[in-house]
Amino acid sequence: MAEHESLEFGKADFVLLDNVSMEEFMGNLKLRFEKGRIYTYIGEVVVSVNPYRAMNIYGRDTIEQYKGRELYERPPHLFAIADAAYKAMKRRSKDTCIVISGESGAGKTEASKYIMQYIAAITILIKGLKSKG
């Protein structure tokens, strides 16, 4: 499961809710949001809540934390989804896609930018390692 996510932050994956109800779902989402956790999994899907403020969770350090890791090794994040898609694409040698859905103003464009930032960063890192070896 998501590394080092204590129950203080709610459940990192909605699949782990004791009772599946709208009240439990929204309560967990609200708790995580209030604790600064804008991403929560539902299995292999990530639900994100637009924080409507800048957050320091997309820099080089965060990229390094998610690069090459399995989906549940780290707390929920767009970078985990991006890394899983990238690895699947490389493993299968086929194109892949990430579906981003939501209402107007939900942050879809920003999510797309962060995913592309991550893919570009890890691609550059991987090419740099190959050229040294």
Handedness of CA 16, 17, 21, 24 (dihedral sign): negative
pTM attached to this predicted model: 0.88
**Greater pLDDT, 132 or 89:** 89
Mean pLDDT of 88-117: 94
pLDDT in tens, 35-76: 999 999 999 999 999 998 999 999 999 999 999 999 999 999
Q: Enumerate the known binding-site residues.
A: 102-109
pLDDT in tens, 23-40: 999 999 999 999 999 999
DSSP state of 25: H
Distance CA 39, CA 117 (A): 17
Please give the full DSSP string across 32-52, using - where no structure is assigned: HHHTT--EEEETTEEEE---S
Q: Enumerate the known binding-site residues for ATP.
A: 102-109
> What are the extents of the domains in the chain?
7-132
CATH topology of domain 7-132: Kinesin (3.40.850)
